[in-house]
């Protein structure tokens, strides 16, 4: 037990780094993903193709490769590489935000497709404008459908923060591996697993509360 307490501080520091990254990615990638969804549904074809190409490329390549490209690859681009040098954490944030924005865009797209066309017609009969229909009718129904998938992606995001190790950002797994190599024991890996489980349990409970709240509001309507 004394050994666990001795290795816990650097792991908790890593957990703070992971939590900070998680917060940044959620705050930035959700609106970005929704914006990409809207661009992919607009009537201007070049914008539609660009949005779909972004989703296709980002979802079709590993997040680890994207992180390595942003941190190590961008500075090597002739001419502009000198302006594309980021510190490790910033590069990781950019990679995670772009990656999860693409996944969230697909989730939002599925949520929008789930809204029955009759809802649009009913809103039109009631005299609602397109903006009012979208904000008061479409988005609430889309969120109810998309929430379970958003919850699942958020849990995946917590686990993916371990990829920070690839760009030498000290996080939970980095601290665990350092302790394993130093002390020749697998105990740090179990401690890291417990920390990840605790973080994901809290996150899952939060999403369950939000889901129940939305279902309650729907029943009240």
pLDDT tens track for 201-215: 999 999 888 888 776
Side-chain-facing half-sphere of 65: CA atoms under 13 Å: 6
- Answer for the pair 175, 11: CB distance below 8 angstroms, yes or no: yes
pTM beyond 0.85, yes or no: yes
pLDDT band at 59 (very low <50, low <70, confident <90, very high): very high
- CA–CA distance, 48 with 44 (Å, rounded to integer): 6
- CA–CA distance, 11 with 13 (Å, rounded to integer): 5
Residue-wise pLDDT tens digits, 112-155:
888 887 777 787 777 777 778 878 888 888 888 888 899 999 99
pLDDT value, residue 144: 85
Domain spans, the chain: 2-220
CATH superfamily of domain region 2-220: MetI-like (1.10.3720.10)
């Amino acid at each position: 037990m004394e050994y666990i307490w001795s290795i816990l501080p650097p792991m908790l520091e890593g957990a703070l780094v992971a939590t900070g990254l998680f917060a940044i990615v959620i705050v930035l990638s959700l609106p970005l993903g929704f914006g990409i969804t809207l661009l992919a549904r607009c009537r201007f074809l070049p914008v539609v193709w660009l949005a779909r190409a972004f989703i296709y490329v980002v979802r079709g390549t590993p997040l680890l490769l994207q992180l390595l490209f942003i941190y190590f690859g961008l500075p090597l681009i002739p001419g502009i590489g000198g302006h594309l040098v980021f510190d490790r954490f910033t590069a990781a944030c950019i990679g995670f935000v772009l990656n999860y924005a693409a996944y969230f865009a697909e989730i939002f797209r599925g949520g929008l497709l789930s809204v029955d066309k009759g809802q649009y017609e009913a809103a039109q009969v009631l005299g609602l404008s397109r903006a009012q229909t979208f904000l008061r009718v479409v988005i609430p129904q889309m969120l109810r459908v998309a929430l379970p998938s958003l919850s699942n992606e958020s849990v995946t995001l917590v686990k993916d923060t371990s990829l920070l190790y690839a760009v030498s950002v000290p996080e939970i797994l980095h601290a665990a591996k350092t302790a394993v190599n130093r002390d020749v024991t697998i105990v740090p890996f179990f401690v890291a697993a417990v920390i990840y489980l605790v973080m994901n349990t809290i996150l899952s409970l939060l999403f369950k509360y939000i889901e129940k709240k939305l279902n309650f509001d729907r029943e009240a309507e």
